[in-house]
Amino acid sequence: MLLVTGGAGFIGSNLVAALNDAGRTDVVVCDTLGSEGKWRNLAKRQLADVVPPTELDAWLKGRRLDAVLHMGAISATTVTDGDLVMERNFRSSLRLLDWCTASSTPFIYASSAATYGDGRQGFQDDPSLAALKALRPMNLYGWSKQLFDTAIAARAERGEALPPQYAGLKFFNVFGPNEYHKGSMMSVLTRRFDDIKAGHTLQLFKSHREGIADGDQRRDFIYVDDVVRVMMWLLASPSVSGLFNVGTGQARSFKEMMLAAYATLGATPRIEYIDMPEAIRGSYQYFTQAKIDRLLAAGYNGGFTPLEDAVAHYIRGYLDSADRFR
C-alpha cells in the first residue's frame, strides 16, 4: 500500500487521483475530513482506507508500505497557534520519518517556499545544514517546515540512519482543482474567478516599490498537475533523495495570470488597482522564483506547463464547469 497524509487536501487529493489513474487502488489516506465538504476532493477516488491523524501511529504498527507521501500539515500562513503547528507540522513529521527509517520505507514530504522568508537570500534549494540555518521564514508555517528540513539535514550530515529514499519538496505557488476548501489560502485565480466570470471589476494591489508597476508583483506559479508529476517521478526513481524546489523556474505577475483568465473566457479585462494594506506592506513579497537546477540535475525532465496553458486548462476543465472537482 501507499500512504498519503493530507490526502483529502489540495495537493494530496490530486496526488491520490494520479495514483488511481496509474492503476494504484491500494492507497490509504490519512486526513481529517471535517464537516466543510472536503470529502468531495476524494469523491471520485478508490481508496483502501481513510485513517484519522489521531489513529495513524497505531495504524502503522506492523505495517509494510511501498512509500509514505507526507502532504499533511497546517498550511495556512496566517495561523498563530504555535503549539498546534509544532505538533501537526513538526513532531508528527518526525514520528513518520522515524517510522520510515525503521521500516526502510521511502519518504517523500512537502516542504515549502515559505522557508525562504522575504527572499532576500535567494531561492536556492541548498540542502546543507549551514544554508538551511541561514534562512529566516516570515511566518509560523514556514518556520515549522524549515525546522523539519533542518532536522533531516542534521541527521544526514551526522551520518545517521534515514529512509532508503527521502525527498523534501519546496512547493512554490501551486494552483489548480480541489483547492476550494482553503479559504483565504486559495490561489488568487480561484478566489477571483467568479467575479471575473460575472463581469465584476477585479482588484489587484498597487505597487509600493519603485520600479515595479501596479499588478506586476511576481510569483512562481506552478500548476498542481506539474507538482504531482514531480512526485510520481520520485516514486519511480527510488535512487533520488534530497531537498528540491518545485516551481517552474519562471516568475510571472498577478496581472499576467488574471489576463490569461480573461483571455480564456474571451472577456474584456476589467482591472483596478487598490492600495496595499499598510499592515502588510513591509513584509509583502514582490518576487519569488524557484531555482530548479538541482531537480533537473537529479534527472527530472517532465517539463512545466506554461502559465497561460495552465490557466486555460484549469478554467475549462474545472472552474468554468458544473463539477469543479478532480
Q: Which residues pair with 5 in a beta bridge?
A: 30, 70
Average pLDDT on 190-200 reads 95
Question: Do residues 29 and 239 lie in contact, with contact meaning Cβ atoms separated by under 8 Å?
Answer: no
d(CA 280, CA 301): 38
- Which residues are designated catalytic? 141, 182
Please give the angle made by the CA atoms of 226, 230 and 234, to the nearest 5 degrees.
165
Average pLDDT on 209-228 reads 95
Q: Flag whether 184 is marked binding.
A: yes
pLDDT higher than threshold 90 for residue 78: no
pLDDT grade for 301, boundaries at 50, 70 and 90: very high
Residues of the chain with pLDDT > 90, as a percent, come to 90
d(CA 68, CA 190): 29
Distances (CA, A) of 164 to 63, 155, 216: 17, 13, 43
d(CA 121, CA 149): 17
Only one residue has cell 544526514, namely 156
Supply the pLDDT for residue 75.
84
pLDDT higher than threshold 90 for residue 237: yes
Contact partners, residue 216, CB within 8 Å, separation at least 6: 207, 253, 254, 255
Only one residue has cell 470529502, namely 39
Contact partners, residue 104, CB within 8 Å, separation at least 6: 163, 164
Average pLDDT on 199-220 reads 93
Closest CA to 250 of 311, 292, 200, 214: 292
Pairing of strands 49-51, 173-175: unpaired
> Which element (helix H / strand E) includes 70?
strand 67-70
**Which of 254-263, 272-281, 304-313 shows the lowest per-residue confidence on average (mean pLDDT)?**
272-281
pLDDT higher than threshold 90 for residue 281: no
Supply the pLDDT for residue 283.
74
Q: Flag whether 122 is marked binding.
A: no
Closest CA to 9 of 166, 224, 223: 224
Average pLDDT on 84-98 reads 95
Tens-place pLDDT, residues 12-52:
999 999 999 999 999 999 999 988 889 999 999 999 999 99
Mean pLDDT value across the chain: 95
Q: Flag whether 37 is marked binding.
A: no
The whole model's pTM is what?
Answer: 0.95
Q: Flag whether 170 is marked binding.
A: no
Q: Flag whether 38 is marked binding.
A: yes
CA within 13 Å, CB half, 211: 2
Cβ count near 250 (within 10 Å): 15
Pairing of strands 107-112, 166-171: parallel
Tens-place pLDDT, residues 162-180:
999 999 999 999 999 999 9
